[in-house]
Amino acid sequence: MPLELVTEEKRSVNLSEARVIVAGGRGVGNQEGFEALRELASALGGEIAGTRVAVEEGWISADHQVGQTGQSVRPELYIACGISGAIQHRAGMMDSRYIVAVNRDPRAPIFQVADWGIVGDLHDVVPRMIEQIRSA
């Protein structure tokens, strides 16, 4: 049987240089939810990232993980969607210039480090953010 040479396209992500990062956690819920986050990142010219839970769920690859055992980032803008703000995650994103958090739980620890907090369901909030950015 002849051997076939297959070249796999691999884009490794260097999140440390991103100016805008849109990150998702367990609250995103599924792969489809991450597509909306990708759209938001794209509208802002940014990159996508996630928590360890998002990686473990298979919604995003491990090279996109932010935190103690992932990458450390310091973008101008970090938008955390459906992320509780565990210390291991915060360790990797605390130095972001501005942090926006979207979480339906007003007591989520991420709000303690956020410059702006939106209490709500990200499935409602993220599409509205995309709409606003596109029309601006």
Ligand X SMILES: Cc1cc2nc3c(=O)[nH]c(=O)nc-3n(C[C@H](O)[C@H](O)[C@H](O)COP(=O)(O)OP(=O)(O)OC[C@H]3O[C@@H](n4cnc5c(N)ncnc54)[C@H](O)[C@@H]3O)c2cc1C
* Positions in the binding site for ligand X (CB under 6 A): 25-27, 51-54, 65, 67-70, 82-84, 86, 88-89, 92, 102-105, 108, 121-123
Task: Give the integer Cα–Cα distance in Å for 105 and 95.
Answer: 23
Looking at the Cβ atoms of 20 and 108, the one nearer to ligand X is 108
Whole-angstrom distance, CA of residue 65 vs CA of residue 76: 18
Pick 20 or 125: Cβ nearer ligand X: 125
Orientation angle between helical segments 31-43 and 122-135, nearest 10 degrees:
20
Shortest Å distance, C-beta 115 to ligand X: 18
Q: Name the residue nearer to ligand X (CB basis): 7 or 107.
A: 107
Residue 4: Cβ within 10 Å count: 5
**Minimum distance, C-beta of residue 127 to ligand X, in the bound complex (Å):** 12
